[in-house]
Structures are given as C-alpha cells and as structure tokens.
C-alpha cells in the first residue's frame, strides 16, 4: 500500500461520522425521554415576568411571534398588492342540491402568468345568512377531496403515483375523490357550516427545489435566488396561502369572516397552527396529528425529531431552524408557545393512538403548557392536567383528543371539530 493511500484510509477511519450519515432510530420509550425545561411563555426574554394580559399582548406575544418567525418557520411577506380573485365557476345546486359551490382562482400577481391558487368552497345551500367555514389545505388537489365531477382537476405539480392517478406530475381523473374520507363535507353542510380548501402544491410544491417554484420568487429582491436564513420556507408559504384565502373570505358575503375555522392534518396541521398563530383573523385553529414542528414539544425528542425533520424535509422550515438539529434545548421557544400564540381564541389538538411518530403525549403536553396564557387572558384553557384516555375528547377553550387508530383525519375527528366550533360560536 503506498503511503498516500494509507494516510487517506487512516484519515477516513478517524474522521467523525457526519450526523447526516447516522441512521436515525426514533425513540418510542417514555423512560428515555430526556430531561428538559420548557421556556416559560409568561416570562420575557429579558427575564421579566408577564403578569397581565396587557403585557402579554404588547410585549410577550410579539416577542414569541418574532422568535418563531426568525428561528423556526421564516418571515413571510404581506398580501401581494396586485392580487386578484377570479370566480371560475359556481353553482347553487351542487352535491344534489345541498350545497353552493364556488371555485375561485387567486392570482397572486394579478396575472395568469404569475403564481396562483384555486380555492374550492362549499356552503350550505339552505343558509339564509353568512355561515362559518372550515378552511384547510389539502394534499392531493381540490378534486381529490370529493367525488363531485364538477371540481376542476388540480393543475399544478404533483408527485407521480400512477396507482392513485398522478402521471407526469399531473393529476388525472383517476385521482378524483381520492381523499374524500378525510373531508366530511356533507356533515359540515348539515351542521350549517361551509368547507373551503386549497391544494398546498398550488402555493408551493412539496419538494425541495431551492424555492424556485411556488410563491417565493414573486417576492425576491433584485438578484435574490433563495430565501435568507430567516425567511419563509414551505410551511410558512403554505400558511401565507391560507391568509390569502382569508383575504378572499373578507370579500364574500356568504361567508362569516368572523367565524372561520382553520384546520390541517400532519404537515398541513403544522401549517394551520402557524397560520393561525400569525393571522388573528382566524377564529378557531385545529391541528390534526401535526407532530414535530406542529403541536408536539420538540424537547421531548419522541418519535420524529428536529434533526430528522430538517433532513427529510429541508424545505419546510427556515434555514435558521437547522441550528437546532439535535440541540432542541437551545431553542428559544417550544411548541406550547405556538399554541399560546392562538390564545385567547379556541385551539384544538388531535392525536391518534397509532401515530407515535407525532408524539401524542408531546402534543397533549403542549396544550397543557399553553394553558397559563389562556388563563391569563381570562379563559378556561384545557381544564385538566391529565392526558385523557383514547376517544374521550376534552372541549375546553383548548380542545384535545386522542383518537384510536392511525395517522389520518377521520369522520370521528370532524365530529369533534364541528361540536367544538358549535360550542364556541354559540348560536348567532
């Protein structure tokens, strides 16, 4: 063996194994959850305690919001000045006469050439006044949430899956109604509530392309090619899209803009929480199985961890979040503070027994540790310190349930969300 080769081999042997080359093994053992101390939502970064609602609203809330913006999800711009809403299609006799259907195209730059998203809205046909509406992003295109043949097929990029009907990165007829079990549209309509949805890939396709597609480039400064370390990743862009849906609701007289319920599942549940934290126009926020970077406490490192999520999905969070890979204790926030940003508005966290990856207990604890802020603001909070058994929902100002079954959104979940919304909205 020549000397150079020998030295090279030795150097390779001694080189520290890079963290990203390590195999990830998720911890599912409660006794191996590390000790941790959560940042106190009611203490300013300066150490000063927050004892009044006024101090929360004036000082601590903006401080926490800024930390999440700069260190976790990334800062997003405001509404684009030239945005236009175009009604593409509507019917007063959709779903066998039960619904009013609208399909609205949101042109972010005001032109067909620029980025855009399509909003699908169903409202109860019988309504005589403006109605509450559930709004959430979907994974597979608007046409996948219901078998209604009039829903336009999503036109933007989709991951190929021939079996499900996605070919050459486009949706085909075969995918119509694919995700219908996740959207209890008829149940909402019967409860006097509407449902609105947008395909997340319209706002930003869910793969890492250094932010060349989706809405990001519309806001680049001259010469900018990718967001800065504290600027928006994909989750923040999706959340921004939800706020643009809210902008539309403000123009639609059939929708009660003061009773818009934001919900999302999994990565789109993380998105719903962030959108609802930032944009206080949303009246209720619901996280379904959102897990790491959503409702689950990062410091518990149970199931998915910060390192793992940043490596599998490098585009979801902002560049700065990567500083906290395997260093959760150095985060200036944890996810209970994200829920606290929703206060005093009702927030609902749903877990599933088969969804350990998302850390059900960590999601419950987040809800619990958000409670002091809800109480400071004069509301009841969660109302218990004990994690409930499966299928025993808690509907306080903070709602929580652990559903039996896998990572999914089911009709059982929707029944809880409708009951929760009814409880908090009362009769109008």
The residues assigned a catalytic role are: 266, 407
Residue in 124, 227, 291, 362 binding ligand GCU, rule: CB under 6 A: 291
User: Which is nearer to ligand GCU, 292 or 350 (by Cβ)?
Assistant: 292
User: Which is nearer to ligand GCU, 7 or 24 (by Cβ)?
Assistant: 24
Residue 329 CB contacts under 8 Å (≥ 6 apart), including other chains: 36, 37, 299
Residue in 204, 252, 304, 328 binding ligand GCU, rule: CB under 6 A: 304
Residue 299 CB contacts under 8 Å (≥ 6 apart), including other chains: 34, 36, 38, 328, 329, 331, 334
Q: What is the largest CA-CA distance in the chain?
A: 87
Residue in 260, 292, 295, 296 binding ligand GCU, rule: CB under 6 A: 292
For residue 328, CA distances in Å to 34, 173, 212, 287 come to 11, 44, 30, 22
Binding to ligand GCU, residues 335-394 (CB under 6 A): 357
**300 touching ligand GCU, by CB under 6 A:** no
Which of 234, 268, 335 is closest to 134 using CA atoms?
A: 268
Give me the least distance between CB of 244 and ligand GCU, in Å please: 21
CA 317 to CA 238: how far, in whole Å?
11
Residue in 267, 336, 356, 403 binding ligand GCU, rule: CB under 6 A: 267
Give me the least distance between CB of 291 and ligand GCU, in Å please: 5
User: Which is nearer to ligand GCU, 151 or 292 (by Cβ)?
Assistant: 292
Cis peptide bond upstream of 344, omega within 30: yes
CA 273 to CA 43: how far, in whole Å?
22
Which of 104, 58, 66 is closest to 85 using CA atoms?
A: 104
3-state secondary structure of 89: strand
Burial of 412 (C-beta count, 10 Å sphere; 0-12/13-18/19+): middle
User: Which is nearer to ligand GCU, 156 or 288 (by Cβ)?
Assistant: 288
Task: Fill in the DSSP letter of residue 138.
Answer: E
Q: Which residues pair with 347 in a beta bridge?
A: 285, 398
Only one residue has tokens 């929480």, namely 273
Stretch that binds ligand GCU, among 56-64, 113-121, 304-312, 346-354 (CB under 6 A): 304-312
Give me the least distance between CB of 182 and ligand GCU, in Å please: 11
Q: Would the CA dihedral through 53, 56, 58, 59 be positive or negative?
A: positive
CA 291 to CA 26: how far, in whole Å?
13
Residue in 255, 309, 347, 398 binding ligand GCU, rule: CB under 6 A: 309
User: Which is nearer to ligand GCU, 103 or 290 (by Cβ)?
Assistant: 290
3-state secondary structure of 334: coil
User: Which is nearer to ligand GCU, 79 or 406 (by Cβ)?
Assistant: 406
Inter-residue contact 402 to 390 (CB < 8 Å): yes
Give me the least distance between CB of 26 and ligand GCU, in Å please: 10
3-state secondary structure of 221: coil
- Overall residue count recorded for the chain in this entry: 428
Kindly state the number of chain residues that form the binding site for ligand GCU, as judged by CB under 6 A.
Answer: 8
User: Which is nearer to ligand GCU, 66 or 407 (by Cβ)?
Assistant: 407
Inter-residue contact 45 to 66 (CB < 8 Å): no
**266 touching ligand GCU, by CB under 6 A:** yes
Give me the least distance between CB of 363 and ligand GCU, in Å please: 12
User: Which is nearer to ligand GCU, 256 or 304 (by Cβ)?
Assistant: 304
Give me the least distance between CB of 226 and ligand GCU, in Å please: 22
Inter-residue contact 365 to 33 (CB < 8 Å): no
Give me the least distance between CB of 24 and ligand GCU, in Å please: 11
**399 touching ligand GCU, by CB under 6 A:** no
Give me the least distance between CB of 303 and ligand GCU, in Å please: 9
Give me the least distance between CB of 400 and ligand GCU, in Å please: 18
Q: Would the CA dihedral through 408, 411, 413, 414 be positive or negative?
A: positive
Query: What six digits make up the tokens of 365?
Result: 């604890």
User: Which is nearer to ligand GCU, 7 or 28 (by Cβ)?
Assistant: 28
Binding site for ligand GCU (CB under 6 A): 266-267, 291-292, 304, 309, 312, 357
């Amino acid at each position: 063996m020549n000397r150079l080769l020998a030295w090279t081999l030795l150097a390779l042997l001694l080189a520290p194994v890079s963290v990203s080359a390590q195999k990830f093994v998720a911890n599912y053992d409660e006794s191996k959850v590390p000790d941790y101390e959560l940042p106190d939502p009611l203490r300013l970064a300066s150490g000063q305690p927050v004892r009044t609602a006024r101090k929360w609203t004036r000082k601590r809330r903006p401080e926490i919001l800024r930390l999440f913006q700069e260190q976790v999800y990334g800062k997003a711009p405001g509404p684009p000045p030239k945005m236009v809403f175009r009604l593409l299609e509507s019917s007063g006799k959709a779903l066998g006469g039960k619904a009013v259907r609208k399909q609205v195209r949101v042109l972010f730059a005001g032109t067909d050439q620029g980025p855009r998203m399509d909003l699908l809205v169903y409202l109860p046909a019988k309504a005589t006044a403006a109605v509450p509406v559930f709004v959430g992003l979907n994974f597979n295109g608007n046409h996948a949430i219901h078998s209604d043949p009039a829903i336009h097929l999503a036109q933007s990029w989709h991951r190929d899956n021939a079996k499900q009907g996605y070919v050459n990165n486009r949706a085909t007829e075969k995918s119509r109604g694919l995700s219908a079990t996740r959207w209890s549209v008829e149940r909402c309509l019967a409860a006097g509530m509407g449902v609105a949805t947008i395909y997340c890939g319209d706002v930003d396709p869910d793969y890492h392309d250094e932010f060349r597609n989706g809405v990001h480039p519309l806001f680049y400064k001259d010469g900018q090619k990718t967001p800065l370390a504290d600027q928006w990743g994909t989750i923040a862009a999706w959340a921004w899209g939800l706020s643009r849906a809210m902008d539309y609701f403000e123009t639609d007289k059939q929708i009660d803009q003061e009773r818009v319920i934001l919900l999302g599942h999994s990565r789109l549940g993380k998105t719903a929480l962030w959108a609802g934290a930032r944009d206080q126009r949303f009246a209720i926020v619901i996280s379904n199985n959102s897990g790491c970077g959503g409702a689950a406490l990062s410091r518990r490192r149970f199931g998915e961890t910060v390192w793992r999520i940043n490596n599998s999905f490098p585009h979801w969070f902002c560049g700065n979040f990567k500083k906290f890979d395997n260093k959760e204790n150095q985060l200036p926030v944890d996810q209970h503070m994200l829920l606290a940003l929703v206060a005093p508005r009702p927030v609902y966290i749903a877990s599933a027994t088969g969804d350990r990856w998302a850390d059900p207990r960590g999601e419950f604890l987040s809800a619990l540790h958000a409670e002091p802020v809800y109480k400071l603001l004069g509301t009841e909070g969660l109302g218990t310190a004990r994690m409930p058994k499966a299928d025993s929902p808690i509907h306080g100002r903070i709602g929580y349930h652990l559903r039996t079954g896998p990572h999914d959104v089911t009709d059982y979940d929707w029944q809880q969300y409708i009951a929760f919304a009814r409880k908090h909205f009362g009769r109008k």
